[in-house]
Amino acid sequence: MKKNKLTVAQIGCGAFAEAQDFPNLTKNPKISLKWCCDISKDRAKEMAKKFNVPEVTTDFNAPINDPEVDMIKISTSHEVHLPIIEAAARNGKHIFCEKPMALEEDEAFKIISAVRKGKVKLCVDLNRRMAPSMHSLKANWLKHRANPRHQSWRYVEVERELFPEEKQAQFLVRVQDESYSYRLVHLDPMKGGGLVFGETVHWLDLACWLYAPQYPVEIQASGSARFSHCINLKFSGGDTTTILFSCGGTFDYPKELYEISSSGALFRNNFFVENEYYGVPGLDRELFPMQHDPLKNVGKEGGFSAYMKKYAERAQKTKGNIKNAAPFSVDKGHENMLNTFVEAILKDKPSPCDEMAGFMSTYLAKLAIKSIELRQALPVPLDKVVPCIP
């Protein structure tokens, strides 16, 4: 490892890597990107040329065996994560892996074992937990929960002690998506595993992060593991999460909405650009910049309404053909996750989303699918929450 700098290899050079990995890796001054690896040599060459990366290969062992490489970024299809991670861990390479970490429980256990035996750090890109707006939402909610304050005009019919369930928090995740946006590989049970694995692991992880150190104790799901579904998750302290995922929506409206109702207040995140707070004195609204905003002169007021104006302007200019348009995205935490993991490696700190977090989202996704199939609630055993893996 060079002084205060990591040499990195990108393994998997698809659309996501082009949109997030390569820009974020090349932007970080503490990273030197040396390798592009992809099963398509033409694609690897294309990305190497676009982002000025010196080495190209179709064999993931080439960068893993390179003594100069300190970290690999995995953006392949899900089913090949395990062999790449095992090889990297054996060679002492730190690993930044796309979600989900694994498709099967035993794969996740093997990954945990490999990382620990190799004494390397692993980070799973369950990026919502690193979005700046979500960090602020959580901080403000926890502050209110510890010392609730209410508006002077709050209506209280009778002064009384709260019942136990009134002290619990409810976390609502509403996701509306367009099914036509998914390539069939995402729905392939051998490669993508369907949308519970391909997408909903994000929100299962986010719920675990939000409620930590509580742990999940029960899960109940309905709908389709491949497409639209609903998941209810209960935690050890009594708090709950409901995830509503619909694939029949439209990109004309933002994909994600988050709400925490707790202690006589509502905490809302509007697609990572605006937090709204209701019921807490002096806590009204927070605005957050986009990750990529080519329309800074549109919607200067910021927040959700500004995002909608920018989106409409972009759609009108591109006339629906956005493939060659300038990058346009809210800050979902991708860059923050990478930068925090780089600091964790350089300063020997904990990973922002380690192998245990990666395992938990995989395990909960498997349980959700099983719950859909059985049409019943399922327990989350404590020995599964904290497995014994030396």
**Model confidence pLDDT, tens digit, residues 175-188:** 999 988 887 777 88
The answer to whether residues 185 and 43 belong to one domain is no
Q: Which residues pair with 154 in a beta bridge?
A: none
Alpha helices in 35-131 (DSSP H): 41-51, 61-64, 81-90, 105-118
DSSP state of 33: E
User: What is the edge-to-edge ordering of all strands in the sheet holding 256-262?
Assistant: 285-287, 274-278, 265-270, 256-262, 170-176, 240-246, 229-235, 216-223, 378-379
Q: Give the Cα separation of 162 and 168 in Å (integer).
A: 10
Looking at the fold, whether 210 and 315 belong to one and the same domain comes out as yes
Task: Please say whether the beta carbons of 350 and 122 come within 8 A.
Answer: no
- Collapsed DSSP state (helix, strand, coil) of residue 69: coil
Q: Are residues 264 and 291 in the same domain?
A: yes
pLDDT band at residue 324 under the 50/70/90 scheme: confident
Residues 313 and 235 in one domain: yes
Domain residues for the domain of 223 are 129-331+363-378
**384: in domain:** no
Cis status of the peptide bond prior to 213, with omega within 30 of 0: yes
Residue 72: predicted pLDDT: 98
Would you say the C-alpha torsion 339, 385, 174, 223 has a positive or negative sign?
A: positive
Asked if residue 144 and residue 35 are part of one domain, the reply reads: no
Q: What is the pLDDT of residue 142?
A: 98
Residue 390 lies in a domain: no
* Domain contains 386: no
For the segment 46-58, the average pLDDT, to the nearest whole number, is 97
Count of domains for the chain: 2
Same domain, yes or no: 244 and 262? yes
**Percentage of the chain exceeding pLDDT 70:** 99
Residues 184 and 307 in one domain: yes
106 shares its domain with 159: no
**Same-domain status, 224 and 252:** yes
Same domain, yes or no: 122 and 153: no
The pLDDT value given to residue 311: 94
Does residue 111 sit in the same domain as residue 218?
Answer: no
Q: Are residues 96 and 135 in the same domain?
A: no
CATH number for 158: 3.30.360.10
CA-closest candidate to residue 231, choices 286, 299, 183, 173: 173
pLDDT value at position 320? 60
Q: What pLDDT is stored for residue 234 in this prediction? A: 98
List pLDDT tens digits, range 193-210. Answer: 789 999 999 999 999 999
Q: What is the pTM of this model?
A: 0.96
Residue 180, pLDDT score: 82
Give the SS3 label for residue 86: helix
189 within a domain of the structure (yes/no):
yes
